[in-house]
Structure 1
Amino acid sequence: MKKWILPLAFVLLLITGCGNEAESGSVEETEGENIIKIGSSPDGYPLSFQEDGEVKGFNADIYNAIFDELNYEIEWVMTDWTGVLANLDTGNVDTASNFAMTPERAEKYTFSDPYYNSKAAVAVAEDNETIQSVSDLEGADVGTILGTNFQNVLNEEYPDHGGEIIDYENNEVVYNDVIAGKIDAYLYGREQLLAMINDRDIALEIAGEPFGVQPVALPFKDTPENQELISDINDVLAELRSDGTLAEISEKWYGMDIYEEETE
């Protein structure tokens, strides 16, 4: 039997070639990791919403600014809000859009710095003369979106309101039920309500002053990798505040600089 003896140089060439292929594969894998999955609902105008196959909105613009700077590509995972929470819990998404920082949620997640403060408000039909403020909600049927934190905010701020809270899965049904008189009011974010009323001619009006300020941030599972990412996110957020980018995004979607309110 003949024995084949390979020249040493050829063996080294084979080893080097294999090494290059492995290195190339790791680069592609690293590039693949520069994707962040963000859970959101498709009807959260003006925060994040889907239109013509594209995700737009106040939150979307802020996230694009952050992750463009960090060289991440955003992959949006759109479901109703209960689906967003489930995907975050199971790890199907890395983080979630428009997530209020609460003590309860802090037991499960670690957060970036907040990028704005959400305020709750009550919207009623334009011809409603009974509910002029949150203090008039005693015994009223109030709609809110299932899984959001607004019911907790109402209970904390006005524990004696005594009204029934009715959970809905999407905004449009709530609007229609309030306008039709099926329920008395809608409890939701002040910014979202203002935008819907002003930009989309929803026949509602806000009753009284906003209440229950809640910081909003990006939630993550507490891992060393996520802690490093959060640190990078916080650095970029600080830059976006200082250079006026956040204020510009606010003016674009709300016609006002909501960050001025935070400094008052």
Structure 2
Amino acid sequence: MKTHSMVLTALLAAATLLSGCDKPGDGGSAGAKTIRVGATGLSFPTAYKKDGKLVGFDVELTEQIAKDLHYRVEWINADFSGLMGQLEGGKLDTVANAVAITPARREKYDFSGPYSYYGSQLVTSSTNTGINTLGDLKGKTVAGVLGSNHVANLKKAFGDNTITIRTYENRDGAMTDTMNKRVDAYVNARPILLAEIKEKSLPLKLVGAPLVVEPVGYPFHKDDNGRALQAAFDRQIDAMRADGRLKTLSIKYFGEDITAPPAGAAQ
């Protein structure tokens, strides 16, 4: 009975939120409700700037969901740790920047269903002939983005402290230092790394298999408004998966379908 009551409450909240979208003065054009969404604007190909416009897989997906729900998106740009801080502080409704669904984050937020899957992958300079496997990284320095789940996965994989982890505010600095051999390797999402290496012909190579594969979703606040947004986003993600638009969007930006977990991947 308690579970039934909670579900009913969430559905009523979603209905209230959606019905309010058409009210004048709710924010945005034509009375559309405004949702505040965070993205770095530096994350190719998920959320980046092209000719001054914010574009990317997560960006286009969010805009399509918002359009279908008659919302208007107000984009807020910051580094990843800053975005998560703004979300925690209530300044954002959600973040659209490949946010992995982890147990620690689930304690703070209610997540949408997964819309993509990312493996934490290590890369090194293509001229580093002595680094080809994860074992080769022992005693080395590995870069990662501050606040990223990939850094957390790195710590778990090398729990014996056999590597030194250096964190950066954004991935550009981490990647540049890796290519210039100021650090020995860099960890990020495998699909993102492959897309960027191909797009920019970067002198980087993969090191070993992904440490772990994690689902990616939208984090929402654990309150009535957050649960209503979560329910609304879930319906649209399911609809886009069913009609093929989600897969098409993935192929557009990554050249492959990352909207389903890889076969045999460790999660």
TM-score, normalised via structure 1 length:
0.85
2:38 & 2:71 partners in 1: Cα distance? 15
1:61 & 1:232 partners in 2: Cα distance? 17
Deviations 1:152-207 (A, max 9, x none): 11222342361000001122222221122111000111111111100012211111
**C-alpha distance 263-130 of structure 1, shift in aligned 2 (>3 A):** closer
Q: In the alignment, what sits opposite 2:224?
A: 224
1:117 & 1:173 partners in 2: Cα distance? 24
Which amino acid in structure 1 is aligned with residue 127 of structure 2?
D
Identity %: 30
Deviations 1:208-243 (A, max 9, x none): 222311111111111112212211111111111111
Structure 1 runs of 4+ off > 3 angstroms? 30-33, 259-264
* Aligned-residue offset at 1:27: 3.1
Conservation of the 8 A alpha-carbon contact between 1:137 and 1:161: no
1:132 & 1:263 partners in 2: Cα distance? 23
Q: In the alignment, what sits opposite 1:4?
A: none
The gaps in structure 1 that reach 5 residues or longer are: 1-25
Conservation of the 8 A alpha-carbon contact between 1:38 and 1:95: yes
* Aligned-residue offset at 1:127: 0.8
* Aligned-residue offset at 1:31: 4.9
Given candidates 23, 26, 29, the residue that maps to 1:30 is 26
Which amino acid in structure 1 is aligned with residue 44 of structure 2?
Y
The gaps in structure 2 that reach 5 residues or longer are: 1-21
Q: In the alignment, what sits opposite 1:75?
A: 74
TM-score, normalised via structure 2 length:
0.84
Which amino acid in structure 2 is aligned with residue 36 of structure 1?
I
Q: In the alignment, what sits opposite 2:123?
A: 123
Q: In the alignment, what sits opposite 2:13?
A: none
Conservation of the 8 A alpha-carbon contact between 2:118 and 2:258: no
1:129 & 1:75 partners in 2: Cα distance? 46
Conservation of the 8 A alpha-carbon contact between 1:122 and 1:133: no
RMSD: 1.8
Instruction: Return the index of the structure with the highest Cα Rg.
Output: 1
Deviations 1:119-163 (A, max 9, x none): 110110011112112232211100001111112112223423610
Conservation of the 8 A alpha-carbon contact between 2:122 and 2:207: yes
2:201 & 2:171 partners in 1: Cα distance? 14
**Number of equivalenced pairs:** 239
2:74 & 2:64 partners in 1: Cα distance? 14
Which amino acid in structure 2 is aligned with residue 215 of structure 1?
P
Conservation of the 8 A alpha-carbon contact between 1:38 and 1:96: yes
Conservation of the 8 A alpha-carbon contact between 1:135 and 1:161: no
Bigger mean CA offset, 168-177 vs 34-43:
168-177
Equivalences for residues 148-227 of structure 1 within 5 A: 148-160=148-160, 162-227=162-227
